[in-house]
Amino acid sequence: MQEPTNIQFWGASTMRTFRPLWVAEELAVAYTHHPIGPRTGETQTSAYTEMNPKQKVPYMQDAGFGLSESVAISRYLIARYGSESTMAMPTSVEALAREDEWVSYIYGELDETSLYVMRRHGDLAPIYGEAPAAMTASRAYAEKHLAVVAEHMTGKDFVVGDQLGLADIMLVSCLDWAVHYDFELQASLLRYRDLHRSRQAYRRAFDVNYRASS
């Protein structure tokens, strides 16, 4: 680990809270973790709401700079603490645009539009209600876009470039989510997922993120 920083993370037990923890572990930056859950009431306290009015996790503070949303937090950490030996920001306008293209695609089509809809009306059905038609449509939509990603990932170790990047953090976390929902991944995605789940930083972050719920 680097010298101690002022980084603090709030949030645990979801794929979205896992992402910035994984990035921090890859970057070898020290942090303090507050393993609060998204629906335990801890995000609705007056102290947390004053800090993060969205009442969501994950949330990060770094020396007084506060930030929410897993993509934004992860991007910030890479930009501020990344390096060629860990995780570096793309160095050209074109390379950054290509990474953003895949990050946006993975987050928009796999996370928000399909997998999270399945979470809302599956795991969280007591809160949001059962919606069999939405569940069926979301699964079909995810399968369509997983096929697109599987073709892109054939023969590749990284979504873009030759180093672990934000798009990989997003994709591996969504593939974990998909496996949790019993999707059958194509061979290229299985190989890619296994490759990155074997990373020591991934395993450390996984243990931190799910320790509270184990």
Tokens of 14: 């979801």
Report pLDDT digits (tens) over 60-89: 999 999 999 999 999 999 999 999 999 999
Residue carrying the six token digits 């809270």: 17
- Report the pLDDT value the prediction gives residue 61, as an integer from 0 to 100: 98
Q: Residue 2: is its pLDDT beyond 70? A: no
C-alpha–C-alpha distance, residues 166 and 71, integer Å: 8
C-alpha–C-alpha distance, residues 67 and 75, integer Å: 11
- Report the pLDDT value the prediction gives residue 14, as an integer from 0 to 100: 97
Q: Where is 214: in which H helix or E strand?
A: none
Tell me how far CA of residue 141 lies from CA of 116, 138, 146, in angstroms: 12, 5, 9
**Considering all CA atoms of the chain, what is the largest pairwise distance in Å, rounded to the nearest integer?**
51
How much is the average pLDDT of 200-205? 98
Report pLDDT digits (tens) over 96-138: 999 999 999 999 999 999 999 999 999 999 999 999 999 999 9
Q: To the nearest whole number, what is the mean pLDDT of the chain?
A: 96
C-alpha–C-alpha distance, residues 159 and 189, integer Å: 11
Q: Residue 168: is its pLDDT beyond 50? A: yes
Q: Residue 165: is its pLDDT beyond 90? A: yes
Q: Residue 4: is its pLDDT beyond 50? A: no
Strands 32-34 and 59-62: unpaired
Tell me how far CA of residue 139 lies from CA of 5, 23, 142, 178, in angstroms: 41, 28, 5, 9
Residue carrying the six token digits 């969280």: 124
Q: Where is 59: in which H helix or E strand?
A: strand 59-62
Q: Residue 201: is its pLDDT beyond 80? A: yes
- Report the pLDDT value the prediction gives residue 1, as an integer from 0 to 100: 44
| Domains of the chain by start residue, with CATH | 7-87+201-213 (3.40.30.10), 93-199 (1.20.1050.10)
State residue 35 phi and psi, 5-degree precision: -80, 60
